[in-house]
Amino acid sequence: MVHTNSDSPRLSALPLLALLAVALLWAPRSWALSVFACEPEYAALVSELAPEASVYSATTALQDPHQIQARPSLIAKVRRADLLVCAGAELEVGWLPMLQMKANNPKARDGQPGMFYAAEQVETLDQLTQVDRTMGDVHADGNPHLQFSPSRMLAIAEALTERLAQVDPQNAEAYRTNLADFRARWQAAIPRWEAQAAPLKGKKVIAYHTSFRYLFDWLGMEQVGDLEPKPGLPPTTGHLATLLKRADEGDLMAVIHTGYQDSRGAQWLADRAALPRVRLPFGPGEEGIADLFALYDRVIAQLVTVAEAQ
């Protein structure tokens, strides 16, 4: 029973319960799933599947995901996370293990449901059977920059949905419903992107690292040279001279790099080879790119503009 002042009207229990229900409906959802994404593309994917979740990205599209400091703020985020979503294939090997150790979150340990690696859900390109230090910063488990493979990203979304359902079973059906919506929109967009990108088929480029390996594989483009003499090493004068000799063959479309890669080597080569230097966005959050759909739209549009100008 609710006790009231004798001069005030007595409130029945039913209206109070109704008020309480309304208050709970509009109150902040403190139980929302907390997700730590290592890269912005996976933060964007989680947001598609779990829009009510609290999602934090450890990196931006303008940061090299190979080289991030294990800052105290990141440790605190991992400590509170219900689920970590990362590229894997050793992309984060220089900093993620330190976060896992310092955070001491049992959910975030490798092999636990709360630790999800995208590369473990699909077949990666360029896997290596043997690796040694002379090869530079290579990934034995394959190229980890999966965000530009639409088929792989859909497979990752399907696996991630089941992982979300596992760590948050109360909302499992909501996650699966969101996946169905994402799948329909994604599968509808793929033929549109492929038709738009038709002028790119067979085009050859020189690029920085193998950041766009999956994009080129999907669209039928070919990277014939790498601005890095070895993965992880900056361009040298001698290496750039070799690339310039390759460019003299006259069959290249452009020199390509991301926003986080040093543009000086790319600019040097582009100037001397009379080629366009193209800085492609690498993930959502860059240049007003809100999600994965906008990322694909922007990247393909930029490349097609270059191709059609030649």
Q: What is the pLDDT of residue 116?
A: 98
**Which comes out higher in pLDDT, residue 35 or 135?**
35
pLDDT > 70 fraction of the chain, expressed in percent and rounded: 87
Taking CA 56 as the corner, what is the angle to CA 51 and CA 61, rounded to the nearest 5 degrees? 105
Mean pLDDT in residue range 261-278:
97
Burial class (CB in 10 A: 0-12, 13-18, 19+), 196: middle
pLDDT in tens, 85-144: 999 999 999 999 999 999 999 999 999 999 999 999 999 999 987 666 555 566 688 999
31 phi/psi in degrees, rounded to 5: -90, 0
Q: Please, what is the average pLDDT of the chain?
A: 90
- What does DSSP assign to residue 120? G
CA distance 77 to 86: 14
CA distance 6 to 203: 85
Contact (CB, 8 A) for 40 and 285: yes
- Report all structural domains of the chain as residue ranges with CATH numbers, in order of start: 34-193 (3.40.50.1980), 197-308 (3.40.50.1980)
Q: What is the pLDDT of residue 207?
A: 98
CA distance 227 to 2: 74
**pTM (2 d.p.):** 0.87
Mean pLDDT in residue range 248-263:
97
Contact (CB, 8 A) for 300 and 272: no
Sorted by sequence, the CB contacts under 8 Å of residue 168 that are 6+ apart come out as 33, 82, 175
Q: What is the pLDDT of residue 231?
A: 87
Mean pLDDT in residue range 36-63:
98
The answer, yes or no, to whether residue 166 has pLDDT greater than 60, is yes
The answer, yes or no, to whether residue 281 has pLDDT greater than 70, is yes
pLDDT in tens, 208-246: 999 999 999 999 999 999 999 998 899 999 999 999 999
Tokens for 20?
């309480």
Q: pLDDT category, 30, cuts 50, 70, 90?
A: very low
Q: What is the pLDDT of residue 137?
A: 62
308 phi/psi in degrees, rounded to 5: -75, -20
Contact (CB, 8 A) for 62 and 39: no
The answer, yes or no, to whether residue 147 has pLDDT greater than 70, is yes
pLDDT in tens, 169-201: 999 999 999 999 999 999 999 999 999 999 999
The answer, yes or no, to whether residue 23 has pLDDT greater than 90, is no
Give the Å distances, CA to CA, from 114 to 37, 106, 111, 121: 12, 8, 8, 15
Contact (CB, 8 A) for 240 and 262: no
